[in-house]
């Protein structure tokens, strides 16, 4: 009788297997079973980031058109930042701050230093890209914002994820767009607003998602409606297309993912690479 061993001579060729070979066949051993509600919930991170980019571009357009003053935007951003700062600590009762060991005084110093440096260099930011054509600036900004969306950390463990690169690309896009605004004060407010949208707002999103999922869903819906309302004031066609994109990401794509899971057919069996599961550390002593 044939035995699956190499240390004995057998009257069979090396590639011989008997009828028991396929008895060890297993399919989709490590396949994950997704639920539609869970996938829709996870897609909220993509929806929120798309809305963040939309709100940022709309804000820049309003400032460039003279429909929004830098003082008004700075005041609104300051109030919303203070509310978000309080909410960030209130969500977990300050447990995250206590674990990190960071004090409010350190946060205040970091904010003041960033604001001072940005305000001091705002004239440089305003004149940084004077020698570059406006079309090139718009193309670079669009490319950087697209890269920000691609490399953003949506919670997936993938090699393409890079929070630092994603943030740097968003700030670079904000500097490019801010250089086309009328005054240095506009550039300062625009870069500050970009930091709030692309650095601080995602941190609050992750905290809400982990601690209060229902509140996270509500914030996502309200944020998407606000972005659509703002876009509708500029272009009704753009608002319809953007709404279709958000619905496709949050509803259609999860459905397609779950349907495609039914077609998964990964096979496992005795032909797989051997895995040593025994603790061999005693042989290394």
Q: Dihedral of CA 124/130/135/140: which sign? A: negative
Rounded average pLDDT over 132-160? 89
Q: Dihedral of CA 211/157/153/149: which sign? A: negative
Contact 188, 118 (CB under 8 A): yes
Residue 59: pLDDT band (50, 70, 90) is very high
pLDDT in tens, 225-245: 999 999 999 999 999 999 999
Q: Is 153's pLDDT higher than 80? A: yes
Task: Report yes or no on whether pTM surpasses 0.85.
Answer: no
Sequence-distant (6+) residues with CB within 8 A of 120 are none
Residue 34: pLDDT band (50, 70, 90) is confident
CA atoms within 13 A on the CB side of 79: 5
3-state secondary structure of 84: helix
Q: Which of 265, 115, 266 is nearest to 192 (CA)?
A: 115
């Amino acid at each position: 009788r044939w035995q699956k061993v190499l240390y004995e001579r057998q009257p069979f060729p090396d590639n011989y297997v008997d009828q028991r070979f396929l008895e060890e066949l297993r399919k989709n051993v490590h396949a994950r079973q997704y639920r539609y509600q869970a996938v829709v919930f996870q897609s909220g991170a993509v929806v929120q980031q798309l809305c963040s980019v939309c709100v940022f571009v709309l804000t820049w357009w309003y400032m460039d058109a003279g429909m929004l003053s830098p003082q008004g935007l700075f005041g609104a951003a300051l109030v919303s930042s203070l509310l978000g700062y309080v909410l960030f600590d209130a969500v977990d009762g300050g447990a995250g701050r206590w674990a990190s060991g960071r004090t409010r005084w350190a946060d205040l110093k970091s904010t003041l230093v960033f604001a001072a440096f940005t305000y001091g260099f705002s004239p440089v930011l305003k004149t940084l890209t004077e020698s570059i054509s406006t079309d090139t600036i718009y193309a670079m900004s669009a490319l950087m914002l697209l890269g920000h969306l691609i490399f953003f950390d949506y919670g997936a463990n993938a090699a393409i994820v890079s929070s630092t690169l994603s943030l740097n690309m968003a700030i670079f896009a904000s500097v490019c767009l801010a250089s086309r605004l009328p005054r240095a004060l506009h550039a300062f407010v625009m870069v500050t607003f970009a930091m709030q949208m692309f650095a601080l707002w995602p941190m609050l999103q992750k905290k809400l998602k982990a601690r209060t999922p229902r509140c996270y869903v509500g914030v996502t819906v309200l944020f998407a409606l606000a972005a659509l309302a703002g876009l509708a004031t500029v272009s009704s066609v753009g608002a319809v297309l953007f709404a279709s994109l958000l619905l496709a990401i949050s509803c259609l794509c999860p459905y397609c993912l779950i349907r495609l899971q039914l077609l998964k057919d990964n096979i496992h069996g005795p032909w797989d690479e051997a895995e040593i599961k025994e603790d061999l550390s005693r042989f290394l002593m």
